[in-house]
Amino acid sequence: MARYAKAMGHPIRMYVLGLLSKQTCCYSGDLTEVLPVVKSTLSQHLKELKNAGLIQGEIEAPRIKYCLNKENWTEAQDLFNKFLNSPVKPMDCKTDK
């Protein structure tokens, strides 16, 4: 779960994941046309997502052809859902003064 969380820890990467999750097929285009970042920065973000296994595809600057890695995306969703929906034990954090 940590590798997914780290990869998702930047707003640009979250935007890319959101965009790809809405696609019916792989995205092919220049994301710098819709994101206010330079190509080298975007390329680094795509590399992080790909290394985490959340996306798959190719970088052919300035264009990309990417889609979600559905198997890993489903695994990440399951891990986060289990973690966030697990019961929280009540705590008594009163301190003596």
Residue-level pLDDT at 33: 81
Q: What is the pLDDT of residues 33-49, one digit of tens each?
A: 888 888 889 889 989 99
Q: Are 38 and 60 a contacting pair, CB within 8 Å?
A: no
Question: Is the Cβ–Cβ distance between 55 and 49 less than 8 Å?
Answer: yes
pLDDT digits (tens, 9 = 90+) for 8-20: 999 999 999 998 8
- Of the ranges 1-15, 41-55, 83-97, which one carries the lowest mean pLDDT score? 83-97
Dist. CA 15–CA 94, nearest whole Å: 41
Cα separation, 58 vs 30, whole angstroms:
12
- Identity of the residue numbered 69: N
**Total-model pTM:** 0.78
Report the distance separating Cα 35 and Cα 66, nearest Å. Answer: 16
Domains detected in the chain = 2-80 (1.10.10.10)
Chain centroid to CA 5: 8
